[in-house]
C-alpha cells in the first residue's frame, strides 16, 4: 500500500492560493492565506457575502486542510442598495424560490446584515433560504435563525435513512462514522479523510426527513490509515 505524504503548511498555503485563483467566484488578490499546523486563516476584504463564502469553500477543498478560520471582511460599496431595497429584493427572491416556504420566513435587515427567522419542515428549506439570500448584492452577513419543525418520524427510521445515505455517498467511510439520533437531533462523530466527505456526511443527515438539528463532531484526518 502506498504511503501518504503529509503536506507542510507552506505547501497547503500554496495549494489554497492556487484554488482561490482557480475559483472564478473570488479574486485571489482579495484574500490573504496563513496556515498553522493545517489550520487555514483567511483575511482580506470583499464586497459581497458570496465571495466570502466562496473563499471559505475553496480553502476547505484543499487536501491537508483541517480547519478554516474565515476572517474575510465584507464591506458595502459606495452607492450600494439601501436596507429597504435589500429587504424588498430578499422578499421577491424568497417568493420566486419554489423550494422555500416564504410565507413562514421573516427577515430583518440592518446595514446589510440580514437575520432570517421562522419555521420550516426540512433542513434543506432552511439552507435554500440562506443560499438564496446570501448571494444578493448588498448583503454583508446572514444570521440564519430559522428553526426546523419536521414531521414526527421514529428515531430508528431516521437512523436507517441516514445510514443508507452514507453508504451511497461516501462508501467505506460510512463505517467510521457514528450516529446518535434523539428526538430529531442527530450527532455525527468519528472521522473522515476530507472536508468533502465531511460535508457529504453532514448533508446526508440534514437531508433526511425527521431531522431538525445536526451536530457535527466529525474530525478530518486526511492521512489516517
- Residue 1 lies inside a defined structural domain of this protein: no
173: CATH: 3.30.1340.30
Q: 50 and 27, same structural domain?
A: yes
- Residue 124 lies inside a defined structural domain of this protein: yes
* The pLDDT of residue 3: 44
* The pLDDT of residue 103: 93
108: CATH: 3.30.1340
Mark out the alpha helices in 2-122 (DSSP H runs): 9-22, 49-61, 83-96
The domain tally of the chain equals 3
Structural domain that includes position 57: 9-74
* The pLDDT of residue 8: 92
Q: 168 and 122, same structural domain?
A: no
- Residue 197 lies inside a defined structural domain of this protein: yes
Q: 175 and 129, same structural domain?
A: no
Q: 141 and 88, same structural domain?
A: yes
Q: 159 and 144, same structural domain?
A: no
Q: 182 and 142, same structural domain?
A: no
Cell numbers describing residue 176: 467510521
- Residue 143 lies inside a defined structural domain of this protein: yes
* The pLDDT of residue 221: 81
HSE (CB half, 13 Å, CA atoms) of 16? 30
Mark out the alpha helices in the chain (DSSP H runs): 9-22, 49-61, 83-96, 123-134, 155-170, 195-206
* The pLDDT of residue 49: 84
Residue where a domain terminates, one of 127, 148, 169? 148
- Residue 3 lies inside a defined structural domain of this protein: no
Length of the chain: 225
* The pLDDT of residue 224: 62
Each residue's pLDDT expressed in tens, for the chain with a length of 225 residues: 344 557 899 999 999 999 999 988 888 788 999 999 999 999 999 888 888 999 999 999 998 898 999 999 988 776 678 899 999 999 999 999 888 899 999 999 998 899 999 999 888 889 899 989 988 888 888 999 999 887 778 888 988 888 888 887 776 555 688 899 988 889 999 888 888 888 888 888 888 888 888 999 998 887 665
Q: 64 and 23, same structural domain?
A: yes
* The pLDDT of residue 171: 60
Residue where a domain terminates, one of 148, 176, 193? 148
* The pLDDT of residue 124: 85
51: CATH: 3.30.300.130
Cell numbers describing residue 175: 463505517
Q: 163 and 114, same structural domain?
A: no
* The pLDDT of residue 1: 39
Amino acid at each position: 500500500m502506498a504511503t501518504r505524504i503529509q503536506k507542510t503548511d507552506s505547501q497547503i498555503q500554496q495549494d489554497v492560493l492556487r484554488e482561490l485563483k482557480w475559483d472564478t467566484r473570488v479574486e485571489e488578490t482579495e484574500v490573504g492565506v496563513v496556515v498553522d499546523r493545517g489550520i487555514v486563516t483567511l483575511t482580506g476584504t470583499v464586497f459581497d457575502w458570496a465571495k466570502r463564502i466562496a473563499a471559505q469553500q475553496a480553502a476547505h477543498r484543499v487536501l491537508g486542510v483541517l480547519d478554516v478560520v474565515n476572517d474575510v471582511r465584507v464591506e458595502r460599496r459606495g452607492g450600494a442598495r439601501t436596507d429597504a431595497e435589500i429587504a424588498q429584493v430578499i422578499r421577491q427572491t424568497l417568493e420566486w424560490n419554489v423550494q422555500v416556504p416564504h410565507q413562514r420566513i421573516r427577515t430583518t435587515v440592518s446595514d446589510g446584515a440580514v437575520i432570517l427567522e421562522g419555521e420550516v419542515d426540512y433542513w434543506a428549506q432552511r439552507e435554500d433560504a440562506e443560499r438564496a439570500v446570501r448571494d444578493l448584492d448588498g448583503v454583508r452577513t446572514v444570521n440564519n435563525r430559522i428553526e426546523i419543525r419536521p414531521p414526527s418520524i421514529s428515531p430508528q427510521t431516521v437512523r436507517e435513512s441516514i445510514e443508507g445515505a452514507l453508504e451511497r455517498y461516501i462508501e467505506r467511510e460510512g463505517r467510521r462514522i457514528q450516529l446518535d439520533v434523539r428526538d430529531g437531533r442527530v450527532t455525527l462523530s468519528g472521522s473522515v479523510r476530507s472536508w468533502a466527505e465531511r460535508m457529504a456526511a453532514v448533508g446526508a443527515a440534514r437531508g433526511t426527513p425527521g431531522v431538525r438539528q445536526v451536530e457535527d463532531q466529525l474530525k478530518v484526518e486526511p492521512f489516517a490509515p
